[in-house]
Amino acid sequence: MYQSGIYNISQLSLNLGKISGAANRPIAIDLYAQIGQLDQQKQALAQEMVLNFAFSDGSYKKTHAQRFEDFDEKIIAYLEKNLDHDKKYKISDLAVSDGRTSLDLFLKLEKIFPAIDFTASDKNMFVEVFYDIKDKAKKIVKDENGKILQIILPPFVLNIYSPKRAWRFKIKKTLLYPVNFILTWLLLIPLFRNFFIKIKGDEKQKITLMQNKVLDLAKSRSNFRVESHDLFQKSSDEFDIIRAMNVLNFSYFSPDEVKKITANIFSSLKDGGLFIVGSNKSAGSEVNGDLIIKRNGQMESLMKFGTGAPFREIIISTRAA
């Protein structure tokens, strides 16, 4: 009838090793900042925490360490053979989720190209947590635009699922946990929300949903940075290499949306620059992708992996926005 949630660090420690996928209890996203206090299985736990936590645009963070290992090796072998090792290449890695695959790529490339300048970006990097005036266990989590993503009212952790999330997923959740559904929508009404949870708009905690080791590297190294970037916005910079892995997928975007995104990528790629694009199902599985060059105002595939990248015909026919 109802499903309780995990809303403090002691519960998280007790459930370590038991948390796996959608069947388990929802987790308060503000605990992401406290994972460093746990001694084991931190990375797997971080993955599960963000997997069912959707943003207002329907996106969510799903990634795994060393996800593109074999694909990366082949791409890096090409770069090592064909590019000047001493040149300062500007590299952009798009839609990087929690940054772990970007970190893998940067550390490998820097050994070969020590002068590289690397930017890892993602649209939904931050959430803001607002606490109840009298009881800090009660919280409301919002995105940067002020939209509510999660309501924490112990023992409940209530995820607000975007209209873009699959209807069968939401119907299943509603049928299994009707109390959660009713309470969620009551709390979305300001009158009821103000009754159960009273917050001050200026008292909040900003949490970055990136791995700590990624953020630490960005702080300590001038040639590795983390930025917020929307794929539907043109970049103000130009790059020698752009990578977009597991983002230009059929399940994420329509053909028209991909045309807009790839036009922006084309515009920010230098002539002679390389676009690395691909997708796979899980860590270690085959990547269907392409290594593409922008040459004489056109996109041309230099290497094709598997069946090629999703939307490869659109990508290759792209021109500037």
pLDDT in tens, 228-272: 999 999 998 999 999 999 999 998 899 999 999 999 999 999 999
Mean pLDDT to the nearest integer, 79-94: 97
Helix count and strand count (H, E) for the chain: 10, 12
10 Å CB burial of residue 33 (0-12, 13-18, 19+) is middle
Mean pLDDT to the nearest integer, 35-64: 68
Prediction pTM value: 0.87
pLDDT at residue 185 tops 80: yes
- What are the pLDDT digits (tens) for 258-268? 999 999 999 99
User: What structural domains and CATH numbers belong to the chain?
Assistant: 9-61+125-197 (no CATH), 69-123+210-316 (3.40.50.150)
Do 306 and 289 touch, CB atoms closer than 8 A? yes
Sign, CA dihedral 95-100-104-110, equals positive
Q: How many angstroms separate the CA atoms of 64 and 102, rounded?
A: 11
Residue 210: closest CA among 290, 305, 125: 125
pLDDT at residue 65 tops 70: no
- What are the pLDDT digits (tens) for 307-317? 999 999 999 99
Q: How many angstroms separate the CA atoms of 102 and 43, rounded?
A: 15
Preceding omega of 155 cis (within 30 degrees of 0): yes
Q: How many angstroms separate the CA atoms of 300 and 72, rounded?
A: 19
Residue 121 pLDDT? 96
pLDDT at residue 22 tops 50: no
Residue 41 pLDDT? 58
When pLDDT is cut at 50, 70 and 90, the band that residue 39 belongs to is low
pLDDT at residue 200 tops 90: no
